[in-house]
Structure 1
Amino acid sequence: MRVRAAAILAAALLSAAGSLAGCAFEPPAEDGRVHVVAGFYPLQFVAQEIGGEHVGVENLTRAGAEPHDLELQPSQLAALEDADLVLYLRGFQPAVDEGADLQSKGKSLDVGTVASLQDADPHVWLDPLRLAAIADRVATRLAQADPAHASEFRRRAAGLGERLVALDREYTQGLKSCVRHDVVTSHEAFGYLAARYGLTQVPVTGLNPDEEPGPQRVRDVARLAKERGVTTIFFESLVSPKLSETVAREIGAKAAVLDPIEGVEDGATYFTVMRTNLATLRTALDCG
């Protein structure tokens, strides 16, 4: 259910009245830091990397949850209103879009306006160079919110940018000599990654990971994968592997995780998951 203006107002009043005990989301204490609210993990990661000790970051999507389906709790709505900066990606989380429009006008950043989105695919952070561009803009907005630490924010953003450029080089080098180039995925989440590194994404379903493909689509993908010698059908970490396993059985392939990094668990970070993805792709595509 999408958030409505009346519900948002009521929630904010409830929050102010202190009747929200027990909610999982707790806004940060007033400690002098810039208060950033991020819609989902990659934006939380960027804000923390750039902000360091001067920024408190709250992620609206709990670890291990599917961010597309997020429904905002009353305390989260209050946090959007109180935030110094809200980072979100319009079209990716409808509830956050509406909450940002109603609660945080003038202090929100739609990162899709920075990264030149292609079609309707929102997974722009899977291209390290596009994420570096987002990081630069986040640093600018943090500097506006906290001018006293502007130079540190810019320094940390430059360091993050260098690490992302190095990651891009790792991908370019690691995927330049692959025998195969078709990446068959259960979810159409890897368009930016594929475009950057000369791969072809073949999704079984569209941009919505909960979408159920018709039998003909499954047969078509299985036939194409078999014709092109595909050995691995990928599924993502937050979605059931059943669809990929079905296609894999059809063609005698295996199923494996390719993580779109919409959320992380168990101490993983953007960089560790991206490097795991690279190793997985190199094995699946037979990259020498």
Structure 2
Amino acid sequence: MNARRLIPAAALAGAVALGATALTACSGASASGGGKDGKLDVTASFYPMQFLAEQIGKEHVKVGSLTKPGVEPHDLEITPKQTAQLAESDVVLYLKSLQPAVDKAVAQSGVKNVVDAATLTKLEAHGASGHEDHDHAAEGEGGGEAHGHDHGEADEDPHIWLDPVKYAEVAKGVGAALQKADPEHAADYRRNTDELVGKLTALDTEFKDGLKNTASKTFITTHSAFGYLAERYGLDQEGISGFDPESEPSPARMKDLQAIARKDNVSTVFFETLASDKTARTLAADTGLKTDVLDPLEGITDTSQGADYFAVMRSNLKNLQKALGTK
């Protein structure tokens, strides 16, 4: 499966385009928020959006997710029941172009209060490497086409939630959206947003301090989801596949990664919980490397290394520190 072509994000200035009129007749909710149970009915496309809605909305919202735990979100198919769920929502939170089926369903839903997280921060292009100018081919480590040109280097990377700073920007936009959709509880949404942003700022500091002095700066991962994280903390991501964790790497890419592992003192190949670890384990066996988990946080399951976003991100930090040789 090829990496998907992603649509450029709009500027933050026009980010939260929310209607103040009543939603679809079947929702039974008004623009001031509140269905039959008095709560704002929020539908999130997948876990990172769900987490924001729950943290910011708290007792004032009822949050449902289109992507169930354990389902790989990139390949989600929308059921008729979920289409109806969307149409009855007061607010929909999603990340345009990450899940094509969701994009189509949202466009057809008729919901007025739709928040696209991709418009709430600046998206950047990341390919198989975490840095756009990171080019091992130019250093004579293999043919130019072997280094990720089929891994989405020209695409805009949707994995903004893995950078706590960008995720905080999205949180602010979601908070503003909930305030506008439910002005009666605006003060609570504002306070909850500030609290969440404070926690994300602290997490950013933990990553910054924890990764500033390591023996190596390069990590290899199954899924090229960590470009923003790598760029934020001065690391180099080398993805086996592109943005789509199920895409198959070419033999040339695998050979290139073996050379990178030797040159950059790589100790570990990371895999994730929601996608197959076969390719990562094959590469590790061929190069004599260890394996470990680096979770892109696209969903939480019983096998996740933590119960929520913050716990899993801290597990990711600990695993990166071990793999990179924190001094």
User: Normalising by structure 2, what TM-score?
Assistant: 0.78
Q: Which residue of 2 aligns with 1:72?
A: 78
Q: Equivalents in 2 of 1:41, 1:130: separation in Å?
A: 16
Q: Which residue of 2 aligns with 1:34?
A: 40
Q: Percent identity?
A: 46
Q: Equivalents in 1 of 2:36, 2:325: separation in Å?
A: 52
Runs of 4+ residues over 4 Å off in structure 1: none
Q: Which residue of 2 aligns with 1:283?
A: 322
Q: Equivalents in 1 of 2:35, 2:315: separation in Å?
A: 36
Contact 1:86 1:104 survives alignment (8 Å): no
Contact 2:224 2:239 survives alignment (8 Å): yes
Q: Equivalents in 2 of 1:89, 1:273: separation in Å?
A: 20
Distance 1:262 1:194, change over 3 A: same
The yes-or-no answer on 1:171 pairing with 2:177 is no
1:236 is displaced (CA, Å) by 1.4
Distance 1:187 1:60, change over 3 A: same
SS in 2 for 1:90: coil
Written as runs of structure 1 = structure 2, the 5 A alignment for 1:30-109 is 30-109=36-115
Q: Which residue of 1 aligns with 2:136?
A: none
Match of 2:313 among 269, 274, 288: 274
Contact 1:83 1:104 survives alignment (8 Å): no
1:30 is displaced (CA, Å) by 2.8
Distance 1:277 1:104, change over 3 A: farther
Written as runs of structure 1 = structure 2, the 5 A alignment for 1:105-116 is 105-116=111-122
Q: Equivalents in 2 of 1:234, 1:75: separation in Å?
A: 36
Contact 2:93 2:116 survives alignment (8 Å): yes
> What one-letter code is carried by the residue in structure 1 that aligns with 2:270?
F
Q: Equivalents in 1 of 2:263, 2:197: separation in Å?
A: 40
Contact 2:223 2:245 survives alignment (8 Å): yes
Deviation per residue, 1:48-69 (Å, 9 max, x gap): 0000110000010000110011
SS in 2 for 1:234: strand
Unmatched 5+ stretches in structure 2: 1-25, 27-33, 126-155
Match of 2:258 among 222, 241, 266: 222
Unmatched 5+ stretches in structure 1: 1-15, 17-27
Q: Equivalents in 1 of 2:112, 2:233: separation in Å?
A: 36
Q: Which residue of 1 aligns with 2:135?
A: none
> What one-letter code is carried by the residue in structure 2 that aligns with 1:98?
K
Q: Which residue of 1 aligns with 2:292?
A: 256
Contact 2:35 2:41 survives alignment (8 Å): no
The yes-or-no answer on 1:121 pairing with 2:127 is no
Match of 2:229 among 167, 178, 193: 193
> What one-letter code is carried by the residue in structure 2 that aligns with 1:89?
L
Deviation per residue, 1:168-219 (Å, 9 max, x gap): 0000000011110001111111000000000001111111111111111111
Q: Which residue of 2 aligns with 1:152?
A: 188
- Aligned residue pairs: how many? 262
SS in 2 for 1:87: strand
Q: Equivalents in 2 of 1:126, 1:29: separation in Å?
A: 33
Q: Equivalents in 1 of 2:93, 2:236: separation in Å?
A: 30
Contact 1:80 1:103 survives alignment (8 Å): yes
1:105 is displaced (CA, Å) by 4.5
SS in 2 for 1:230: coil
Larger relative contact order (C-alpha < 8 A, sep ≥ 6)? 2
Cα RMSD over matched residues? 1.4
Deviation per residue, 1:144-181 (Å, 9 max, x gap): 11111000000000000000000000000000111100
User: Normalising by structure 1, what TM-score?
Assistant: 0.88
1:29 is displaced (CA, Å) by 7.3
Contact 1:40 1:263 survives alignment (8 Å): yes
